[in-house]
């Protein structure tokens, strides 16, 4: 995927760059891709501030390649270290919106699983507690709307495992619409109906509590 226009900036200061990640682009360079979001943002900063040489932009959290929405980057190594520590202490609040096939039995609930990633296939599956390769995963959700056999969920992510939301929902027969990896009924080429719409953090320098949001695109809302 090639991005030809400047990124959508939500917030920027000397320490942070908060942006809207487009769907379909990897956060960091992969062997199979010439474009990645981090490199595009570095190029944007280099042009904006007319900076010579390499530009620092630290990745402190990630979104899966098909997923779009709010992302926070660090513009200094000190900010990157402090933001990473906030994440380790579970001080961030990350919320997503997802359209799923199916209607949850409970309007609000918590999902807890142990997940294992198959690196060769780039797939994640649910395992059992005690599996030495498994990582604990937890999220909570609330059903905002249900109709025509689909539901719109607001999800609060409490751990940040690879493909976590997609796998936990799919394992409960609530696969995300247009998730070509974990929804066996996905047949078209549309973007996945999962959107990172809100991130709440503590500013790494001022210690101010900051909330950044970006509404789910209209084409996703129409899926329900």
| Coil, strand or helix at 188 | coil
* Domains in the chain with CATH codes: 8-221 (3.30.2350.10)
- Distance, in Å, from the CA atom of 192 to the CA atom of 170, rounded to the nearest integer, reads 13
Q: Could you tell me whether strands 58-59 and 209-213 are parallel, antiparallel, or unpaired per DSSP bridges? A: unpaired
- Which of 58-62, 134-138, 173-177, 219-223 has the least mean pLDDT? 219-223
User: Which band of pLDDT confidence, cut at 50, 70 and 90, is reported for residue 53?
Assistant: confident
- Does 64 qualify as catalytic in the annotation? yes
Task: Kindly report, residue by residue over 185-220, the tens digit of the pLDDT.
Answer: 887 667 899 999 999 999 999 999 999 999 999 999
pTM: 0.92
Name the DSSP letter for residue 154. E
What's the pLDDT at 1?
A: 46
Strands (E), the chain: 8-12, 16-21, 58-59, 68-74, 93-101, 108-118, 123-127, 135-147, 150-157, 194-202, 209-213
- Distance, in Å, from the CA atom of 96 to the CA atom of 152, rounded to the nearest integer, reads 10
**Smallest Cα–Cα separation from 123: which of 157, 156, 161, 176?**
161
- In the set 13, 35, 36, 64, the catalytic residue is 64
């Amino acid at each position: 995927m090639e991005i030809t226009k400047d990124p959508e900036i939500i917030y920027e200061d000397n320490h942070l760059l908060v942006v809207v990640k487009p769907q379909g682009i990897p956060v960091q360079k992969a062997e199979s891709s010439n474009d990645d979001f981090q490199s595009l943002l570095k190029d944007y900063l280099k042009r904006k501030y007319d900076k010579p040489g390499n530009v620092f932009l630290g990745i402190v959290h990630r979104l899966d390649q098909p997923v779009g929405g709010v992302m926070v980057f660090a513009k200094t190594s000190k900010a990157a270290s402090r933001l990473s520590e906030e994440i380790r202490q579970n001080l961030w609040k990350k919320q997503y919106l997802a359209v799923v096939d199916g209607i949850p039995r409970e309007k609000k609930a918590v999902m807890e699983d142990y997940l294992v990633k198959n690196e060769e296939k780039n797939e994640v599956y649910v395992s059992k507690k005690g599996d030495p390769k498994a990582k604990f995963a937890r999220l909570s959700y609330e059903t905002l709307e249900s109709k025509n056999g689909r539901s719109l969920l607001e999800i609060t992510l409490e751990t940040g495992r690879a493909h976590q939301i997609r796998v936990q929902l799919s394992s409960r027969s609530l696969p995300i619409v247009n998730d070509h990896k974990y929804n066996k009924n996905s047949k078209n080429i549309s973007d996945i109906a999962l959107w990172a719409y809100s991130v709440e953090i503590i500013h790494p320098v001022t210690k101010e509590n900051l909330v950044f949001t970006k509404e789910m695109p209209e084409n996703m809302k129409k899926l329900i």
